[in-house]
């Protein structure tokens, strides 16, 4: 299955070729590397030579922004309910993953149509797109990320979106440790969202590897799912991890009902759909 995020006005993939994507973020044009773009087509759009910034990868890892003509940060809006602060960051990122818009709409609609109070947990929550979508639907949301800076950024996005008065609990915490405390507290969630990293280190030096750490973590997460759940959404950008693998893991832990798919972004110049990571959506 392919879920396409094709309702943006402030974001656009103009073209994609030879390991690069040419993007419009509001009024600014960026060129960023993308390992999924393994094809090569002619660069006919003038923006390939008139961009505002380009991210150059280093042969030794990492990289840097070149020909930087961007403000410190700016805003982009998604539909009528989300506004994000965008800025160039290390490792090519901007603070927003536009392909996730398909999941944001799914989350907001599920919560809004539930007809009852809904509590949502967002783990590895980054800059808060899914958190704000759940809040826009009317949920009480627990937003958990180990980075104090990213939680602060998510709060700024909430304020920009007019959602800062919503019942959002901002938690700077290790997700695995947070889950263990929630199990002991007996708190349960009707919706759970997670975007675990491929690799990471915990606050006490714990090693996280998607291949070995994810499934035991998912088993623990299942213990905080309510008796009347709405959904579990699992995102992954781990190279080589098939969407069906995410779905099988979720089906084993939560029971049958997971749709496996890729998120995609339309490419304006070619009409192709750019694949952007694996997602599993479990519903009872």
pLDDT recorded at residue 77: 98
Mean pLDDT of 106-111: 98
Token output for 267 = 């490419």
> Quick check: 282 and 260 in contact, CB under 8 A?
no
Give the H/E segment covering residue 131. Answer: helix 129-137
Tens digit of each residue's pLDDT (9 = 90 or more) over 185-216: 999 999 999 999 998 876 677 788 898 999 99
Architecture of the domain made up of 94-282: 3-Layer(aba) Sandwich (3.40)
pLDDT at 78 over 90: yes
The string of DSSP letters for 91-127 reads GG--S--GGGHHHHHHHHHHHHTS-S--EEEEES-TT
The boundaries of every CATH 2.60.40.1180 domain in the chain are 9-72
Mean pLDDT value across the chain: 95
Query: Percent of the chain having pLDDT more than 70?
Result: 99
pLDDT recorded at residue 235: 96
CA distance 47 to 70: 15
pLDDT recorded at residue 108: 98
pLDDT recorded at residue 203: 66
Mean pLDDT of 110-120: 98
pLDDT at 248 over 90: yes
The string of DSSP letters for 249-275 reads HHHHHH-S-EEEEEEEEEBTTT--EEE
pLDDT recorded at residue 240: 86
CA distance 102 to 109: 11
CA distance 233 to 280: 6
CATH of region 9-72: 2.60.40.1180
Q: Supply the pTM of this predicted model.
A: 0.96
Tens digit of each residue's pLDDT (9 = 90 or more) over 9-59: 999 999 999 999 999 999 999 999 999 999 999 999 999 999 999 999 887
The boundaries of every CATH 3.40.50.150 domain in the chain are 94-282
Q: Supply the DSSP symbol for 228.
A: S
């Amino acid at each position: 299955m392919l879920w396409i995020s094709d309702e943006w006005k402030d974001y656009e993939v103009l073209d994609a070729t030879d390991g690069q994507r040419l993007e419009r973020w509001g009024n600014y044009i960026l060129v960023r590397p993308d390992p999924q773009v393994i094809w090569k087509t002619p660069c006919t759009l003038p923006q390939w030579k008139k961009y505002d910034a380009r991210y150059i990868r280093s042969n030794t890892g990492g990289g840097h922004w070149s020909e930087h003509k961007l403000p410190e940060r700016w805003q982009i809006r998604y539909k009528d309910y989300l506004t994000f602060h965008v800025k160039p960051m290390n490792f090519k990122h901007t603070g927003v993953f536009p392909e996730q818009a398909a999941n944001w709409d799914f989350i907001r609609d599920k919560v809004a149509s539930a007809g009852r109070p809904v509590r949502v947990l967002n783990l590895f929550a980054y800059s808060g797109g899914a958190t704000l979508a759940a809040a826009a639907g009317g949920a009480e949301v627990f937003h958990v990320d180990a980075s104090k800076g990213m939680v602060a950024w998510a709060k700024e996005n909430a304020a920009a979106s007019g959602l800062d008065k919503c019942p959002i609990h901002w938690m700077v915490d290790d997700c695995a440790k947070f889950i263990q405390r929630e199990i002991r507290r007996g708190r349960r969630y009707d919706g759970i969202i997670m975007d675990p990293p491929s690799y990471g280190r915990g606050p006490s030096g714990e090693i996280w590897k998607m291949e070995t750490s994810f499934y035991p973590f998912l088993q623990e997460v299942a213990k905080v799912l309510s008796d009347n759940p709405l959904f579990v959404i699992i995102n992954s950008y781990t190279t080589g991890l098939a969407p069906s693998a995410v779905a099988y893991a979720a089906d084993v832990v939560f029971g049958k009902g997971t749709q496996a798919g890729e998120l995609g972004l339309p490419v304006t110049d070619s009409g192709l759909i750019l694949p952007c990571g694996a997602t599993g959506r479990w519903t009872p």
